[in-house]
Amino acid sequence: EFLASGSSDCNLKVWDIRRKQCITTYKGHKGAINAVCFSPDGQVLFANLQSPINPTFAIRGPWPKA
């Protein structure tokens, strides 16, 4: 029910696909976001940055309701 997106503007967004809207935006990353994926249970979001200092990080849900 959720989709994650990352981009060269260094923002990571979580979307509610049923409502077709962004439910949260994580800002302030130090590099473009190259890849995102949820854990199999959907509770953790992993992202890979174009950054040599901290290239991978995780954010734990639950995700907010839209």
Q: Using CA atoms, how far apart are residues 55 and 43, in angstroms rounded to an integer? A: 20
Please tell me the predicted confidence (pLDDT) of residue 56: 81
Neighbouring residues of 61: CB distance < 8 A, sequence distance ≥ 6: 42, 43, 44, 45
- Place 65 in a pLDDT band, splitting at 50, 70 and 90: low
Structure tokens at 14: 């979580």
User: Is the CB of residue 11 less than 8 Å from the CB of residue 31?
Assistant: no
Higher pLDDT, 62 or 22: 22
Closest CA to 45 of 30, 25, 65, 19: 25
Q: State pTM to two decimals.
A: 0.80
Please tell me the predicted confidence (pLDDT) of residue 22: 95
Count of beta carbons in the 10 Å neighbourhood of residue 44: 13
**Over 70: is that where the pLDDT of 66 sits?**
no
Percent of the chain with pLDDT over 70: 95
